[in-house]
Amino acid sequence: MNRLNQLFAAKKNNLLSIYYTAGYPALNTTVDIAEALEKAGADFLEVGFPYSDPVADGPTIQHSSEQALENGMTLNQLFEELTELRKRVTIPILLMGYFNPIAQYGVERFCKKAAELGVDGVIVPDLPMYEYEALYSAHFINNNLSNIFLVTPQTSPDRIRKIDELSNSFIYLLSSSSITGGSLQLTNSIEDYYKRIKAMELKNPTIIGFGISDNATFKKACEYANGAIVGSKFVKLLAEEGYMEKIPVFVRDIRP
């Protein structure tokens, strides 16, 4: 049991997770932002580490990644910043980023280091199921790190079952087949997709991400899943003056 499992055991509905890019808008803000988000009421957090070629991301998160890289963010820097994490933050933390920086750091070394610092899970959008299972899953499991898989409206039922088997905390449902930063458009086919997933009665909880930006989209997502993730909208807030003071209101606006 890691903190994610404990959270999902205790709370089944309206879970709110926030994503932000480490190193944006400046270095040495990662734990400050995490602490502020916990105080504001977020249930868990996704901390992105930047990559030069983020193919699954839209303009907002691309921009934050470029800026973070210019600021000097690296995995080493991030791990340095996270040294204080568990002295100040108690909610579950996931790291999210692309595979190549992890591969250069060394997958085993990365998992060990993340676990040591109190990280609970990892989301690597471009590490697919076959490669994860065949080559890397042992490192995640040995370090009690949850690997989170994505599911899209096009993912087949068989594949969703397989993802459910390999998952041990939650499954990340994409609200549409798109890059980050769009808006949640609830067409009939998307509602059918949510209903279809709900009817499958998966063993893992589900969290909806991509396109959640306000209370309306958050509430809608929570009708079908255990909670939702806000990303691009929060990254936009970080570009504003005095963003630290605005975090409580931001979180309250999404989930009063």
Q: Which are the catalytic amino acids? A: 46, 57
Between residues 36 and 61, which has the closer beta carbon with respect to another protein? 61
> Does 14 contact another protein by CB under 8 A?
no
Between residues 66 and 84, which has the closer beta carbon with respect to another protein? 66
Stretch that binds another protein, among 14-22, 30-38, 127-135, 201-209 (CB under 8 A): 127-135
Answer positive or negative: Cα dihedral of 204, 205, 207, 208.
positive
The correct pick among 27, 179, 186, 237 for binding another protein (CB under 8 A) is 179
Which one, of 186, 185, 182, 190, lies nearest residue 233 by Cα? 182
Between residues 37 and 169, which has the closer beta carbon with respect to another protein? 169
The correct pick among 6, 104, 185, 215 for binding another protein (CB under 8 A) is 104
Q: Let me know the angle formed at the C-alpha of 99 by 97 and 105, rounded to the nearest 5 degrees.
A: 100
Show contacts with another protein in window 30-89 (CB under 8 A): 51-56, 58-59, 62, 66, 69, 74-76
> Does 100 contact another protein by CB under 8 A?
yes
Q: How far is the CB of 66 from another protein (least distance, A)?
A: 7
Distance of CA 68 to the CA centre of its chain: 17
> Does 166 contact another protein by CB under 8 A?
no
In the numeric block, which tokens belong to residue 85? 């994490």
> Does 187 contact another protein by CB under 8 A?
no
E strand map for the chain? 15-21, 44-48, 93-96, 121-123, 146-148, 150-151, 171-174, 206-209, 227-230
- Paired sense of beta strands 171-174 and 206-209, if any: parallel
The correct pick among 174, 229, 247, 251 for binding another protein (CB under 8 A) is 174
- Paired sense of beta strands 150-151 and 15-21, if any: unpaired
> Does 103 contact another protein by CB under 8 A?
yes
